[in-house]
């Protein structure tokens, strides 16, 4: 047995300690069940990827708290269809969207505070509610609430295996480096994706994955997901699909968080290490396109890209935490960034020659497009002519993977013979049920909050 006393027979065991787990634990405890959280991370790093977040996407029929105007189900769903290309489960997607509205006050009731939308990042004041103090403050508020309600929380506690005989009978975990066995009456798995397991990523993506950076927690290694899929639990999603964005190439391997993201792409040209452009940098507004750039960069040689801007674009985006490489000439910039100078100068001058006159509107699609260039830049195309010139190295930063567990509209996990009666899932571990591909800013926290609450309520109902 572990040195710390752990209740080996709680009503409900919650696996994980991020947003989805905490929403599930609080909901189940409020419904009267005894709840144990096993969080793999040590206490200072608790909260998984959720501690890196800033906002959640929320439907609302009129102004709601800090959210302005209206964002209705139809518009929210249309936005989702655009980014997923229709690869979603419509019933589960609409359920998430509808229930997101009631999450706003539920979150406040459980300690979360909101702030006005940040400007200069993704222009989201109507659609996304920002957490005061970010995801870290949200996670801390939920831990405080959970503890005050009597939820038992154990850190440095890794769940390794769930044992079934039609339903979950026993759970094996490692706490304080000792193996323990638990017999909860119900289990909610909320242990995230598998992106921190680089070998697993490489088995899906090939060796290129070894050059990927992981934006969030190193503790989401997917062992519970692998264990369940290995036992015939139904899966959804494709192991090669994930949320990946282009981040500053100087970011650490894990946990660099939001400050390593680069929002300069729409105002730049992006080239590969041969100094050639490869995609339309101005395809759509950044909130709807930022999530494709990780994959685009991942497909380039050595999984690297370089965003180049000039002085007139410097103040138009939120910079990363690292200063850009700076030079007075394009050739000088190429030298500092290790790019072939002649080719970069040619790429820039061809781009400049293809730019057209017209009004530039940085916050909306302005149609300021190149002419006769392949690939085109279809918005915000302004010549790169004003020194100093700035460059950022871009690398793919994986946020979370989409391969997950199949759930129904009560968050219950589907086994080979239908729902497993005492097993629920919430958050990234089931998000692939809704996100077949692509991503909409703030939707990860919406899924986790909605399905965490559903899972907590469902499990509490079951053990009652
Ligand atoms: C930098 C960054 C910024 C983001 N910004 C936003 C944003 O603003 N809005 C948004 O909606 N989404 C955002 N996301 C995505 C968002 O973080 C996720 O969608 C969301 O946090 C998922 O919540 P979760 O509870 O499923 O997973 P997590 O919060 O990652 O929690 C998983 C938990 O499981 C634990 N765990 C893993 N394996 C085990 C195990 N074997 N045993 C026990 N515990 C285990 C982990 O330690 C962790 O506590 C961002 C992600 C990153 C990385």
The residue to mutate among 15, 17, 18, 228, having the most atoms of ligand 1 within 8 angstroms of its beta carbon, is 18
Ligand 1 atom at minimal distance to the Cα of residue 258? 1
CA of 375 to the centre of ligand 1 (A): 35
> Does any ligand 1 atom lie closer than 6 A to the CB of residue 246?
no
Of 271, 290, 267, 292, the residue nearest 386 (C-alpha): 267
> Does any ligand 1 atom lie closer than 6 A to the CB of residue 448?
yes
CA of 394 to the centre of ligand 1 (A): 23
Residues 430-462 have pLDDT tens digits of 999 898 887 888 999 999 999 999 999 999 999
> Does any ligand 1 atom lie closer than 6 A to the CB of residue 233?
no
In DSSP terms, which residues pair with 176 in a beta bridge?
none
> Does any ligand 1 atom lie closer than 6 A to the CB of residue 260?
no
Ligand 1 atom at minimal distance to the Cα of residue 191? 34
Cα 74 from Cα 196, distance rounded (Å): 35
> Does any ligand 1 atom lie closer than 6 A to the CB of residue 21?
yes
> Does any ligand 1 atom lie closer than 6 A to the CB of residue 261?
no
CA of 432 to the centre of ligand 1 (A): 14
CA of 45 to the centre of ligand 1 (A): 12
Q: Which residues in the chain land under pLDDT 50?
A: 1, 121
Structure confidence at residue 165 (pLDDT): 94
Our CA angle for 298, 78, 379, nearest 5°, is 55
Ligand 1 atom at minimal distance to the Cα of residue 427? 26
Residue 287: enclosing H or E segment and its boundaries?
Answer: helix 286-289
Of all protein residues, the one whose alpha carbon is nearest to atom 12 of ligand 1 is 444
Could you give the 3-state DSSP secondary structure of residue 142? helix
Cα 442 from Cα 431, distance rounded (Å): 13
Ligand 1 atom at minimal distance to the Cα of residue 444? 19
Q: Residue 259 phi/psi, 5° resolution?
A: -70, -10
Structure confidence at residue 1 (pLDDT): 45
Cα 415 from Cα 412, distance rounded (Å): 10
In order of their start, the domains of the chain are 12-237+402-463 (3.50.50.60), 244-397 (3.90.700.10)
CA of 59 to the centre of ligand 1 (A): 22
Of 447, 441, 456, 464, the residue nearest 121 (C-alpha): 441
Ligand 1 atom at minimal distance to the Cα of residue 442? 11
In DSSP terms, which residues pair with 175 in a beta bridge?
157, 178
Residues 27-54 have pLDDT tens digits of 999 999 999 999 999 999 999 999 999 9
> Does any ligand 1 atom lie closer than 6 A to the CB of residue 294?
no
Q: What is the pTM of this model?
A: 0.92
Using only C-alpha atoms, the chain has a radius of gyration, in whole angstroms, of: 23
Structure confidence at residue 441 (pLDDT): 86
> Does any ligand 1 atom lie closer than 6 A to the CB of residue 257?
yes
CA of 34 to the centre of ligand 1 (A): 24
In sequence order, what DSSP letters do the residues of 409-426 get, joined into one string? TT-EEEETTEEEEEEEE-
Structure confidence at residue 452 (pLDDT): 98
From the number of C-beta atoms within 10 Å of its C-beta (0-12, 13-18, 19+), residue 418 rates as exposed
Sign of CA dihedral 438, 442, 445, 451: negative
The token pair that represents 447 in the structure block: 């899924």
> Does any ligand 1 atom lie closer than 6 A to the CB of residue 379?
no
| C-alpha distance from residue 148 to each of 105, 145, 184, 370, 394 (Å) | 19, 5, 21, 59, 43
């Amino acid at each position: 047995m572990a040195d710390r006393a752990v209740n080996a027979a709680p009503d409900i065991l919650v696996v994980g300690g991020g947003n989805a787990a905490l929403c599930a634990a609080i909901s189940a405890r409020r419904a009267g069940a005894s709840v144990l959280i096993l969080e793999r991370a040590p206490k200072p790093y608790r909260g998984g990827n959720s501690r890196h977040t800033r906002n959640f996407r929320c439907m609302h029929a009129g102004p709601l708290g800090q959210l302005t105007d209206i964002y209705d189900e139809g518009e929210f769903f249309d936005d989702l269809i655009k980014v997923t290309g229709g690869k979603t489960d419509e019933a589960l997607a609409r359920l998430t969207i509808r229930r997101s509205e009631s999450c706003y006050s539920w979150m406040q009731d459980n300690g979360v505070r909101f702030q006005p939308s940040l400007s200069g990042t993704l222009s989201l004041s109507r659609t996304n509610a920002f957490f005061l103090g970010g995801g870290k403050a949200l996670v801390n508020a939920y831990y405080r609430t959970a503890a005050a309600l009597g939820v038992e929380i154990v850190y440095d506690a890794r769940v390794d295996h769930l044992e079934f005989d039609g339903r979950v009978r026993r759970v094996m975990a490692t706490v304080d480096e000792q193996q323990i066995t638990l017999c909860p009456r119900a289990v909610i798995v909320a242990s995230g994706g598998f992106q921190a397991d680089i070998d697993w990523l490489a088995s899906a993506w090939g060796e290129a994955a070894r050059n990927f950076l992981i934006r969030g927690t190193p503790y989401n290694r997917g062992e519970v997901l692998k264990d369940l899929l290995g036992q015939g639990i139904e899966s959804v999603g494709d192991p090669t699909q994930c949320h990946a964005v282009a981040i500053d190439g100087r970011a650490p391997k894990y946990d660099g968080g939001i400050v390593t993201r680069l929002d300069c792409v729409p105002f730049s040209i992006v080239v590969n290490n041969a100094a050639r452009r490869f995609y339309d940098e101005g395809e759509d507004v950044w909130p709807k396109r930022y999530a494709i750039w990780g994959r685009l960069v991942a497909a380039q040689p050595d999984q690297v890209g370089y965003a180049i801007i000039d002085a007139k674009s410097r103040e138009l985006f939120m910079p990363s935490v690292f200063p850009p490489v700076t030079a007075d000439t394009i050739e000088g910039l190429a030298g500092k960034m290790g790019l072939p100078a002649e080719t970069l100068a040619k790429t820039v001058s061809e781009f400049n020659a293809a730019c057209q006159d017209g009004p530039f509107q940085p916050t909306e699609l302005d149609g300021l497009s190149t002419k006769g260039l392949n690939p085109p830049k279809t918005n915000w195309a302004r010549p790169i002519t004003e020194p100093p010139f700035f460059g950022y190295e871009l690398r793919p930063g994986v946020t979370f993977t989409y391969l997950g567990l199949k759930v129904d509209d009560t968050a219950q996990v589907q086994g080979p013979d239908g729902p497993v009666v005492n097993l629920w899932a919430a958050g990234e571990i089931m998000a692939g049920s809704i996100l077949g591909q692509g991503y909409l800013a703030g939707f990860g926290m919406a899924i986790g909050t909605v399905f965490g609450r559903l899972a907590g309520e469902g499990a509490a109902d079951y053990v009652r």
